[in-house]
């Protein structure tokens, strides 16, 4: 059963916590994590790119020259794809890139990502975050004390606008709730900081 240290907002070690080995201690499945990341990125695509076909570009209503006797190849329109300012043949049109991974794959990918963070010593468990008001400096000082000065994913047990608004202007810092966790965000973070109450929720949801 993996064990990690717990910290307070000053970066001081306050104890240790045992993690569920079925969630934080499995052998990471690289192939499934890759599939989950590709799926996430594909679902983020807007799919709004578009080109005009020969029927949509302006002009070209008149046949440029007669069918026979000119020595030129026959042409029906100056807006065919081979002409300058002509339409695009087989170009992209608005479409959806979304697709859904099987539930078991999504769950395995998430567990693999969590386990990899534990194995790489990139998971930090925080006792709690207490803020009287919205203070970006307080979160920045906390991250500095925890030596989390690059990309950070901060997982909260419940929505806390004070913490979310305090952290949102810090470059590289992203906040998430347990029910919004995804494999991409976990793997993309250099430090994965989870509140102690959120750890319990993760183990309850994904057990």
> Would you list the DSSP string of 21-40?
HHHHSS---HHHHHHHHHHH
- Identify the CA nearest to 142 among candidates 36, 119, 152, 59: 152
Q: Give the CA-trace dihedral at 163, 164, 168, 174, to 10 degrees.
A: 110
Same domain, 151 and 185: yes
pLDDT by residue (tens digit) across 15-40?
A: 999 999 999 999 999 999 999 999 99
Q: Distance of alpha carbon 55 from its chain centroid, rounded?
A: 38
> 41 is written with which tokens?
């990125």
pTM of the model: 0.83
Same domain, 83 and 16: no
How much is the pLDDT for 101? 96
Half-sphere CA count of 139, side-chain side, radius 13 A: 23
Same domain, 74 and 162: no
Same domain, 27 and 61: no
Q: Is 147 left (phi over 0), alpha (psi -120 to 50) or beta?
A: left
Query: What CA–CA distance (Å, rounded) separates 2 from 173?
Result: 26
Query: What CA–CA distance (Å, rounded) separates 47 from 157?
Result: 34
Residue 118 near residue 19 (C-beta atoms within 8 A) = yes
Mean per-residue pLDDT of the chain: 94
Note down the domain range covering 67.
Answer: 51-91
Token pair 């240790």 is found at 16
**E strands present in the chain:** 3-7, 13-18, 123-126, 152-156, 173-177, 191-195
How much is the pLDDT for 159? 92
Same domain, 42 and 57: no
Same domain, 80 and 182: no
Task: Out of 91, 122, 145, pick the residue that ends a domain.
Answer: 91
pLDDT above 90 for 91: yes
Same domain, 55 and 147: no
Same domain, 110 and 163: yes
Percent of the chain with pLDDT over 70: 100
Same domain, 147 and 184: yes
Same domain, 133 and 160: yes
Counted domains in the chain: 2
Same domain, 8 and 42: yes
182-197 mean pLDDT: 95
Same domain, 109 and 181: yes
90-106 mean pLDDT: 95
CA separation, residue 192 to residues 12, 66, 89 (Å): 17, 71, 47
Residue 2 pLDDT grade (very low, low, confident, very high; cuts 50, 70, 90): confident
Q: Which CATH number is 14's domain given?
A: 3.40.1370.10
Beta bridge partners of 155: 176, 194
- Identify the CA nearest to 36 among candidates 104, 88, 96, 121: 104
- Identify the CA nearest to 66 among candidates 77, 74, 58: 74
Residue 149 pLDDT grade (very low, low, confident, very high; cuts 50, 70, 90): confident
């Amino acid at each position: 059963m993996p064990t990690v240290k717990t910290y307070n907002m000053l970066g001081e070690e306050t104890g240790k916590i045992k993690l569920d080995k079925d969630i934080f201690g499995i052998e990471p499945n690289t192939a499934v994590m890759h599939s989950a990341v590709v799926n996430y990125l594909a679902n983020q695509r807007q799919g709004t790119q578009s080109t005009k076909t020969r029927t949509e570009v302006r002009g070209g209503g008149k046949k440029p020259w007669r069918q026979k006797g000119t020595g030129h190849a026959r042409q029906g329109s100056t807006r065919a794809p081979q002409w300058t300012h002509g339409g695009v043949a087989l170009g992209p049109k608005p479409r959806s890139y979304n697709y859904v991974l099987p539930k078991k794959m999504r769950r395995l990918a998430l567990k693999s990502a969590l386990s990899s963070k534990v194995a790489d010593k990139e998971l930090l468990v925080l006792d709690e975050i207490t803020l009287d008001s919205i203070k970006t400096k307080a979160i920045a000082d906390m991250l500095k004390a925890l030596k989390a000065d690059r990309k950070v994913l901060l997982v909260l047990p419940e929505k806390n606008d004070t913490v979310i608004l305090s952290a949102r202007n810090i470059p590289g810092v992203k906040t998430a709730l347990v029910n919004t966790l995804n494999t991409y965000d976990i793997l993309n973070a250099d430090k994965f900081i989870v509140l102690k109450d959120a750890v319990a929720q993760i183990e309850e949801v994904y057990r």
